[in-house]
Amino acid sequence: MATTSPKVLVVVGFAEALSAPEVVWSLVDSGCKVIAFSRKGRRAALRHSRHVTFHEITAPEKDCAASLMELAAVLESSRNGTQGHHVLLPLDDSSVWLCSLITPSSGWILAGPCGNCVELALNKQQQIQAAKATGFNVPATTVVSTVEDLAAYTPRFPVILRPANAVLVHENRLWKGRNWICSDKAELNLARSAWNGSCPLLIQPFLEGNGEGVFGLATKNGVVAWSAHRRLRMMNPHGSGSSACISQAVPNDVRSHVEAFLQSSGWRGMFMVELLRTQDGRLWFIEFNGRAWGSMALSRRQSLEYPAWTVSLFLDPQALPDYDSSVVEEVVCRNLGRELMHALFVLRGPQSRAIQRWPSLLDTFHGVFLDPYRSSFYNLRKDDWRVFVSDCWYTIRDQVFKAK
């Protein structure tokens, strides 16, 4: 797949997405001009980049209608007077939802899910059904929608409760639910009170294990540019995104399931399938991410330029990436802010009795500060170093204030 033309203008957002800096650099290095949109009043590390122009819009979490109207205005003003292709690339679940509402007549090519694929990207219940149908191991799942349903449900503990939808609209506001891990009836009652029927919930057995991810580029001729990683550490051992990950080969028994999953939906572009490997060696389907993922830095350290390839693919469905098919294994990439937060979470200790495996302080100190692997960091670029520094600071600050 040839690099994109210098005449390609790509608008990305939201700029607060963990993957945003690496996505922008992938596009810039392929010759694109990049504009980013962010939520008003939100500090994003990408704001400190010398490679991108910024626009602020109302956060959909405050006003969906205003957010959509202002994004449309940004796109219109950005397109006026410019020649060549104009591409819109959503980076997180909120922007996947928002960008899917931009009309095709706007003159922008949406390099992300549209139509039925939007529902697949955002509806976890639909993902689970598709995963079952295509041969994945899927934890037993019950869906509840009311407080009465949850009160009447008698699970086999421990369980995890998580929203059935990545985002929901309520009273013209976009919002996300939260997860709960419950070891007994008392913790479940506390979760039920906090949830209070605010959204449909998935109830699944809480499985402890190691997170893995499978990535690729879905074309009309199948998946290309396969890669995979496993987590070395999560920012919060209680359950969160990774703070450190290492590349690995794609498990052979997973490829056929992933290809069937994507083919059944007609998916195009980059994707991630999140899996969990339990102590018995079994791989379990967790969720599907139909947009840029947090560990994009690790992919790019392997010369896997998924963002640039996705833009090229939506401009020319016949385009194929030019890459080395021999994926390098055991490349380690770490997020400095998340690594430091990992150490703080370990010091705090587990917040549920369901957590049986908790990192030791010695292992944590060794992993975070004396990592034996030759590793690189997320969002580190010599000619854009302010992004790295601000990303580390914002990560720690946001987590500390969130905890408070």
The residue ranges of every structural domain in the chain are: 9-112, 140-205, 209-403
Q: What's the chain's average pLDDT?
A: 91
Cβ neighbours around 175 below 10 Å, total: 15
What is the architecture, at CATH level 2, of domain 9-112? 3-Layer(aba) Sandwich (3.40)
pLDDT at 182 over 70: yes
Which parts of 173-230 fold into alpha helices (H)?
185-195
Asked whether the predicted pLDDT for residue 129 surpasses 70, the reply is: yes
Q: Which CATH architecture has domain 209-403?
A: 2-Layer Sandwich (3.30)
Q: In what order do the strands lie in the sheet with 283-289?
A: 283-289, 269-278, 209-219, 222-234, 242-248, 332-334, 375-377
What per-residue confidence (pLDDT) applies to 27? 97
Average pLDDT over residues 246-258: 91
- What amino acid is encoded at 316 in this protein? D
Structure-model confidence comparison of residues 362 and 289, the more confident one: 289
Query: What single-letter DSSP state applies at residue 46?
Result: G
Rounded CA gap, 241 and 219, in Å? 27
Which class is 140-205 in CATH?
alpha beta
Across 72-86, 218-232, 324-338, 375-389, least confident range: 324-338
Which pLDDT does position 88 carry in this prediction?
97
Q: Which pair of structure tokens corresponds to residue 348?
A: 């705090």
Strand order in the sheet with 142-144: 142-144, 201-205, 159-163, 180-182
Read off the pLDDT of each residue in 139-159 and give the average, rounded to a whole number: 92
Residues 244-269 have a mean pLDDT of 93
Is the predicted pLDDT of residue 248 greater than 50, yes or no? yes
What is the 8-class DSSP label of residue 123? Answer: B
Query: Do residues 137 and 119 touch, judged by C-beta distance below 8 A?
Result: no
| Residue 394, pLDDT above cutoff 50 | yes
| Mean local confidence (pLDDT), 297-312 | 96
In the prediction, which pLDDT does 79 show? 85
Q: What average pLDDT does this structure show over 192-212?
A: 94
Which amino acid, one-letter code, is at 240? Answer: S
This prediction has a pTM of: 0.92
Residue 223 CB partners (closer than 8 Å, separation 6+): 216, 217, 255, 258, 259, 262
Amino acid (1-letter code) at residue 328: V
The rounded distance, in Å, linking the Cα atoms of 75 and 108 is 8
